[in-house]
Amino acid sequence: MIVIRDSYQSLSQLAELNWDRLLYGGTIALALVAGSFFGQYFL
């Protein structure tokens, strides 16, 4: 049980430290989709 609790805390801490990377990835994906949409719309 201690091992399960410690691994859960480790995953929680890892997610807390890397949440901004997910935000950056989502922002880049959104920018690519928006750029594709506007590129097709204006060309």
Entry field: residues in the chain: 43
Contact residues for 35 (Cβ-Cβ < 8 A; gap 6+): none
Predicted structure pTM score:
0.56
Give the pLDDT confidence of 7-23 residue by residue, as tens digits. Answer: 566 667 777 777 778 88
**Rounded distance, CA 33 to CA 28, Å?**
9
Amino acid at 2: I
At position 10, the amino acid (one-letter code) is S
3-state secondary structure at position 18: coil
Q: To the nearest whole number, what is the mean pLDDT of the chain?
A: 79
